[in-house]
Amino acid sequence: MSFQKVDVFTLMDDVKDFVFLDNYKEVCTSDSLYNSVKLTLIYTFFCIVFQFTIGFLLALLFKQETASYRFMRALLLIPYIIPPTVTAIVFKFFFSVKGGILNEILLMTGAVDSRIEWLLAPKIAMASVIIANIWSGIPFNMILLSTGLTNIPDELYESADIDGANTIQKLVHITIPCLESSIKAVLVLGVVYTFRCFELIYVMTAGGPVNGTEIMTIYSYKTSFVKYNFAQGAVISNILFVILFFIGLIYIQMINKEEEVM
């Protein structure tokens, strides 16, 4: 489809014009593509950094196999099992200008003098959708890292205690090296999952305001089903596929190197 002229006028034609790379040239020379790539990278970077950091700290906090900690881990899974669309609706209400929980709390505590337009200003809207995605992605990081923590032998920590190592030294020299495989898997899968995020942003902002949250998936959807330029929408999807394909290749190479070392 990306090599043909396919829009609302030609969609049902049996034979469509073959335009070769014209669609790719038009998409790659447009400012909209570079804006969507930039926003995708910003969105992915901040989501991954905060999801991983908070998930890692929670995994360390709840690594003990007691009944209360297992209960807390189960509670923390709730954001992950909630569908992205529901999460988006909840956060859309949370960030509402009038009646939104966050604005009401900030006004009551005197933190702000006027209501903040969380989803109506481009930069603040991007921060808002990042916060929503961080909230839903933390359990994924926590569970995978918790699984890695359970595989670290207690004898290593006991030996470190005998040698007089403190908590930071045990974290740096035992926990993180032993979690290297889990950390790589969490980061790569997190990048892939965040790169293809769609429902959460579309429900909260639909890519607005002023394209301020129009990441590549939203850009592809709007090009195909709002502007009805299906061929160029396919081009954007193909570019996204290539990026994720190379990320997958990097992950496979990392796994192969680890297997060779073992």
- Measured in whole angstroms, the distance separating CA 216 from the mean position of its chain's CA atoms is 13
User: Among residues 142, 141, 133, 134, which one has the least CA distance to residue 73?
Assistant: 142
The predicted structure's pLDDT at residue 25: 92
pTM greater than 0.85 (yes/no): yes
pLDDT in tens, 57-80: 998 888 777 777 778 777 888 888
Q: Dig out the tokens for 54 from the structure.
A: 């908070």
pLDDT in tens, 1-26: 878 888 777 777 777 788 788 889 98
CA distance 83 to 71: 21
Residue 235 pLDDT class (50, 70, 90 cuts): very high
pLDDT in tens, 129-143: 999 999 999 998 998
pLDDT in tens, 87-107: 999 999 999 998 889 999 999
**Residues forming beta bridges with residue 18, ordered by sequence position:** 4
Q: Residue 262 is which amino acid?
A: M
pLDDT in tens, 157-198: 889 889 888 989 999 999 999 988 889 889 998 998 898 899
The predicted structure's pLDDT at residue 52: 94
The predicted structure's pLDDT at residue 262: 62
